[in-house]
Amino acid sequence: MKNLMKYEWRKTMALKLILLGITAAAEIAYLIGVFRHDENWAAISAGILTLLAFGGVMVIGLNSVVTLHRDMNTRQGYMLFMTPNSCYKILGAKVIENGLSMLATGAFFFGLGALDIMLLFAKFSTVGELWRFLEDFIHSINNEIQINAFGMACFFLNLLTGWFSVVIMAYLADVISAALLNGKKYNGLLSFVLFLALTIGLRVLENLAVSALVPQGTGINTVYLVRSAVTLVFSAGMYVCTAQIMERKLSV
């Protein structure tokens, strides 16, 4: 498993390095803006960093789906599937590597964001106004989100697990496309419809499960934590289903 994960990391490394490079450039621009007291410069680079934080996690997930697709549909897949590893291990390595990469990216941007905001407080006198703007922005997403470290961590964990489950569903749709629908007419379209149906179906099931598990009036942070746990359980089910199809039906 360790070796499989090592090579999954290697296959997806280029994109991560590019992301890191762009982030470093945006951070330098931000720091220049803060230390020169140039509010426009700081605001623009902070906006880019925010975009990178959300976009980066999404792109890492998408890249993982593309890598799986390439492994199943190009000759390079022989490198993976001729090794003495079960499809459970092969897919498991992809899931874990991708999950850890998204978690690390999320944590990295969360930490970087916290540091940058603290720096902002220290440097700008008008930061109170900016903070209120940030609060308004976050409350426009959900009015119940608590603007403190724990509340924000719960909120981002919920976002992260939600996106993680979307990636796992994309794995499943892609595996069905490669293993069961390969060579059939409208394969790509059918896989995409299947992916949408799975995503919507899973969200409905998640909502039902969360409603059943969490009593009315429970705090938003608890709801986020329970939802994250439910999402991970459903993702585990999707993983087993995907690996089983690969094991029985996939030809590369």
Partner 1 sequence: MMLASKEITKMFGRKTAVDHVTLEMEPGHIYAMLGPNGSGKTTWMKMAAGLIKPTSGEMTFEGRPVDIESRKQIAYMSTEPYFYTWMTARDVGKYYGDFFADYSADRYRALLERMELNETLKTRELSSGMMAKLKIAVTLARDARVYMLDEPFNGIDLLARDVIRACILESAAENKLLLLSSHLVEEMEAIADRAAYLKNGVLVECTDLEEMREQRGLSMADRYREIYSHSEGANA
Upper half-sphere CA count for residue 99 (Cβ side, 13 Å):
18
Stretch that binds partner 1, among 78-86, 119-127, 141-149, 230-238 (CB under 8 A): 78-86
181 interacts with partner 1 by CB under 8 A? no
CA distance 3 to 83: 11
Residue 245 tokens read as 């199809």
Give whichever of 64 and 161 is closer to partner 1, judged by the CB atom.
64
Stretch that binds partner 1, among 69-77, 120-128, 148-156, 211-219 (CB under 8 A): 69-77
Q: How far is CA 243 from CA 71, 90, 176, in A?
A: 14, 8, 11
Contact criterion met (CB below 8 Å) for 250 and 172: no
CA distance 192 to 176: 11
Give whichever of 14 and 32 is closer to partner 1, judged by the CB atom.
14
| Rounded least distance, CB 239 to partner 1, Å | 19
Residue 217 CB-density burial (10 A; 0-12 exposed, 13-18 middle, 19+ buried) = exposed
Stretch that binds partner 1, among 81-89, 106-114, 144-152, 231-239 (CB under 8 A): 81-89
Give whichever of 81 and 108 is closer to partner 1, judged by the CB atom.
81
CA distance 115 to 181: 49
| Rounded least distance, CB 5 to partner 1, Å | 11
Residue 179 tokens read as 């293993």
Give whichever of 85 and 244 is closer to partner 1, judged by the CB atom.
85
Q: In this chain, which of 7, 41, 108, 110 binds partner 1, going by CB under 8 A?
A: 7
75 interacts with partner 1 by CB under 8 A? yes
Q: In this chain, which of 59, 103, 213, 252 binds partner 1, going by CB under 8 A?
A: 252
Q: Supply the DSSP symbol for 203.
A: H
| Rounded least distance, CB 236 to partner 1, Å | 22
Q: In this chain, which of 10, 36, 132, 139 binds partner 1, going by CB under 8 A?
A: 10
76 interacts with partner 1 by CB under 8 A? yes
- Element at 161 (helix H, strand E): helix 149-179
- DSSP string across 41-87: HHHHHHHHHHHHHHHHHHHHHHHHHHHHHHHHHSTTHHHHHTSS--H
The radius of gyration of the chain from alpha carbons, rounded to an integer in Å, stands at 21
Stretch that binds partner 1, among 6-14, 102-110, 124-132, 199-207 (CB under 8 A): 6-14
Give whichever of 7 and 124 is closer to partner 1, judged by the CB atom.
7
Q: Name the residues that contact partner 1, by CB under 8 A.
A: 3, 6-7, 10-11, 14, 75-79, 81-86, 183-184, 248-252
